[in-house]
Chain A
């Protein structure tokens, strides 16, 4: 399966390598650099590259290439999914997944990789199990470690040696998560405040054309949970209108049979943060587009200039305010600068990346935000053919745009009364207006 892993920064610096079988020279990454040179942006590097002796499967995340070296047939998605899992684990452990944080925690990174893959085959990828074996770094622990000489080389192997020799040098409990039928939850969880929060987050993916008509729109949602409950609670979450959900995918803890039969989510939750489900709301239902956009971007044939005029206003918001509205426009290469005025928020144009960002903030009914002004083009260059697209970002608190509503949350298996909360948010996903 996975033979080796290289972590490469965008600058082409290989800052970590790990081999599960024999050592493969890091020169194999040259093929990646070659592809990177051809691609206009790091995102455009093909995820699978065939080299004479190996195959490179890479994902690009947080400005790092995670490059897995493969020697034989393996489903590419298997590797890609795993690499993303690695990145998520780093994120979870170090708060961010960056070159600096990985370098700072190189020993933990090595331990994690060793436990996550055994001989190239995924072994323990559940954060819950990993955290039992390898503790995430904390300030307190790093202080303690510097004083006592450190305990970081702690892994299951250390455990085995410790136990085998009868020494009690390594304290704590054994990682039992791997043994249970519910590997995502460890036993003996205890909290003084038992609480369970659920965030219903919906994203609108839409393409609007020049005149503002909807070319394509759909709603994708997720339910993220933060569950801090003692013991082994068994939760049941039901919806007022489960019929809205067209296509769903679940965390492995959800009992699929009950969903099929009763349309309720029944599960023993993992401890802490996790994504309970993601869903898709039937595209046939009309999607309420919360904003309208009027825009006019044009370039003149003479005089190397152009004009830009954008107006945004609220529409179908069900009484809620739209916040954090940001409009991003990738301008054609020939646009040198923009001279714009606005009646709300701020606008900036970066002449290097050719990106115009208009940060509007809250939309209110009375005053409609407007941005207009002129664009100066490179002199002598022909008028650009293409018109830029507008990417819109927004957020509506306390509203799930599809109308999905959680009915109730019941808990079985434990006696205490947990504190429960549900929050709804609507965001713009890939929301584009063509011009």
Chain B
């Protein structure tokens, strides 16, 4: 796209005023030497006849854009080259790219065309883009589908109103089974609809299984998304143990002891309440499948897995990530920086994990400062009674470093170790006091600040240190340190009764030259001394207060006024002055030195938000574990497609129905035929009355949840077309016919699905979105491929499952069922040497390695029949035998349903008149009364979809041929008595003729 960005008119960002450096940059090569004034030259070059000149001009324009120059005034000149014959110069044209993206035989070119198209950011082409994306999403090439996934966020950012339609495409692509698509579509999902967690259910296991083969960038996105998903769907694996143990760990921190106990009690109570935890197998699947990725060369992938384990794994298993994270410490310093941030957060919660790697966090003098500080943080978090002496020894060497910021951080770290681990408090304090004689003022100042905090914990023991620090006021100039010393002396003036007034005297002398924070502390010191030792310090305090009264800083003036009123007794002084001593010399709690990384783990680790400790735009919160696990069955994928319904409501409904059919729960035979569709009404109908005595309860419970009436089934079935127009008489007929049909083929599990579908429909009281016409359902006709006698015990049947063949939409999918009736295993069942008519293609089923005796195995293969009823011949092989077999499709299986409105139907029909129209009259058969039977028979004959229409006398059906996509339109008009007329409009006359014949036969039976 380098050329097309040249005329990108959004280039308004940078000024069109030429920068002076532009013309005379000595380093710039030929390309860079072109001046902004010479745009005319470029225009001339673009207008010239020579392609070489044009190319040169284009190159210069690219170079200009690369430097952020505005090239928009060259736009017209570039556009002129649209007509240029040299293809390398010509910029893109939207409509042309759309055509290419849909028709070119080469998948790479289709993909690139879509990429170009989607990169054009102009709102007018939104509809074109939408169409192209939809088309590409069902392309047979996974690479094109990947490109479609990439285009989704582009279109979304261009026009957010398209969200609903895009979600449909995302849903479709999520179901894709190739690794190429997975990463890209999850990325689109995260950009467009990260909240639609429900779309993931059906694809969860597939994503887990594909993960290891997805390209590395996709892996990162998928793992992060699955982390969030798992947090909503599974139970906390650490709910029981961790509470107890964490409580135990906490007691290392002296101050937290009581809290810890409380936690323990609480935790124990919780443990009693909870049931023993059993990990969901899907949860386990995720952990198991991500673990190998810790070995990835890509740091982002390793980090993604690490955060997944940290957030999701049982405590005992989290340890595995430590090694991998420590490995990343060898990588570039930027990687180290991010990894250390995350390790710092992890070490607070799970210290044990990194303890064996303590030495890997030792600091080298060549590390960048920010890395040093983070390593220090980790070392501090890892410190405990056993390793503290090693760590302190290490810290001692750090204090000698040349990097003063780092030394300051080390002193802070020592202070934190001292507060956390009581045993070493005195050692640390002594060490810090030694630092007070350091030559570097920064070091001393930092030490003072830390010592102040430490002393506050047990001041009575350390009056000598306070004395020592009092001496320092003469030398130390760092305001923060001076302020700290003054505060210490004021606070513990009882421990140093002789020195304190003297310090105040010195300070009063230098008051005017001090920094603001020091001045405030001088005031504090004065006030405290006045309250404890007013005899010696009264005058000094007055003096200081007077100085402060005229200070430039209003804070200081305020403070002075406040203190004066409070401590100096006057006639007017209020009730407060009595309590002055309590106010100033109250016992102050010791500060808690906490890690800045404490509680950062409420952000998802590895995220930008975690790193910044602030929510970044677009950050998705990591949800808390649910109290009780949501239904795990939502992730089952054996159930047919329509359960993928998008709204939560529907899923709930499904849950409700379940218990009714629990008896048939066990049977999960092939349910290939059960697909959704508006036209499934007739089949639904047949269910309530089918065969068994249970059926009454079946229908009762099914409909009972809402309408409760008997004819609920019929309502749902005919709702779109004629609904209530049916008489009661028809009802009986329907039942009869339904009964027949059901007995014929439908296996029991299918029935269950039909009935539940009816219920779903009833509850919803409308059909699912008619947008995407899905294959019509109906009992499948099974054909014999190999008789068990000819097959020497191996029986093979096939049927047309009427599902789009995954991988190639131009193929008819044929479901083949092998039954081994022999006593021995049949091995390596496969297709051999297909003999096909020209143009026909075959996608073989994966070889079946072993078929044990008595077992049944089902596979799906795809055949492109080229819209002809010519048979596909091939050999079926076992490890010993070969059988010549033939699959001949009925004409009705060569098409797939499409959805149309009545108007569209009429319009299309109008264009397929004359030769393309075939009409036949007929007399309807004995059992063929009522539209439902007609609809059902037509649909079982041909894979078409019902077109809703207003008239009760007409039924319309639409479809297109699988290979060429020619329209097939069928109209059945019923007349007086049992007369009827069938009209088929189809571009392919042969197909039309054959289809009419088949339909006639079906209807006149």
Q: Which A positions have Cβ atoms within 8 angstroms of B? A: 1, 14-18, 21-26, 39-41, 43-44, 46-48, 50, 55, 58-61, 70-78, 80-82, 84, 99-100, 103-104, 106-107, 109-111, 114, 118-119, 121-123, 125, 148-165, 167, 169-170, 174-176, 178-179, 181, 183, 205, 207, 209, 215-216, 218, 220, 246-252, 256-257, 260, 275, 278, 280, 283, 330, 332-333, 382-383, 385-389, 391, 430, 432, 434
Contact = CB atoms under 8 A, between A and B. Distances in A.
Interface string B921-955: 00000000000000000000000000000000000
Contacts of B187: 1, 121
A14 B116 contact: no
B27 A249 contact: no
Contact of A121 (B112, B150, B295): B150
Main secondary structure of the interface of B (DSSP, over half): helix
B215 interface: yes
B397 interface: yes
B1 A75 contact: no
B397 A434 contact: yes
A48 B119 CA distance: 28
B673 interface: no
Nearest to A176: B108
A156 B298 contact: no
Closest A-B pairs by Cβ, 6 of them: A149-B52, A72-B618, A23-B13, A160-B112, A47-B334, A73-B619
B19 to A, nearest CB: 10
A81 B607 contact: no
Given A165-B87, A170-B88, A75 B304 contact: yes
Interface of B: 1-4, 10-14, 27-29, 31-32, 50-52, 55-56, 58-59, 62-63, 66-68, 86-90, 92, 96-97, 99-100, 104, 106-109, 112-113, 115-116, 118-119, 121, 141-143, 150, 153-154, 157, 179-180, 184, 187, 212-213, 215-217, 220, 224, 292, 295-300, 302-304, 323-324, 326-327, 330, 332-335, 337-339, 359-360, 362, 364-366, 368-370, 394, 397, 400-402, 438-440, 606-609, 611-612, 614, 616-620
A203 to B, nearest CB: 9
A23 B10 contact: yes
A432 B108 contact: no
Nearest to A432: B364
27 contacts: A16-B66, A17-B66, A17-B68, A26-B13, A44-B368, A47-B334, A72-B618, A75-B300, A80-B299, A80-B332, A80-B338, A81-B300, A107-B31, A119-B119, A123-B150, A148-B52, A155-B1, A156-B115, A160-B113, A205-B330, A220-B330, A278-B297, A280-B330, A283-B359, A283-B360, A385-B400, A388-B365
Contact of B297 (A22, A74, A252, A257): A252
A161 B92 contact: yes
A77 B66 contact: no
Contacts of B142: 179
A71 B3 CA distance: 26
Given A41-B368, A157-B112, A167 B616 contact: no
Given A44-B369, A155-B1, A73 B27 contact: no
Contacts of B56: 149-150
A247 B297 CA distance: 12
A48 B397 contact: no
Contacts, number: 304
B338 A77 contact: yes
Contact of B335 (A80, A164, A176): A80
A216 B13 contact: no
A106 B66 contact: yes
Contact of A73 (B296, B440, B607): B607
Nearest to A209: B397
A257 B291 CA distance: 12
Contacts of A84: 332, 334-335
A251 B297 contact: yes
A77 B295 contact: no
A23 B303 contact: no
Given A149-B51, A149-B55, 13 more contacts: A43-B333, A73-B620, A106-B31, A107-B2, A157-B3, A158-B88, A159-B112, A160-B104, A161-B92, A181-B179, A181-B213, A278-B327, A388-B365
A81 B108 contact: no
A4 to B, nearest CB: 10
B335 A153 contact: no
A59 B299 CA distance: 14
B296 A249 contact: yes
A106 B62 contact: yes
B592 to A, nearest CB: 27
Given A150-B55, A161-B90, A330-B365, A73 B370 contact: no
B324 to A, nearest CB: 7
Contact of B87 (A167, A257, A382): A167
B107 A47 contact: no
Nearest to B337: A47
Contacts of B370: 44, 46
A351 to B, nearest CB: 16
Nearest to B400: A386
Contact of B617 (A26, A73, A110): A73
A333 B68 CA distance: 41
A155 B87 CA distance: 12
Contacts of B13: 22-26
Contacts of A99: 27
A385 B299 CA distance: 39
Nearest to B215: A183
Nearest to A70: B608
A260 B87 CA distance: 51
B327 A249 contact: yes
A14 B295 contact: no
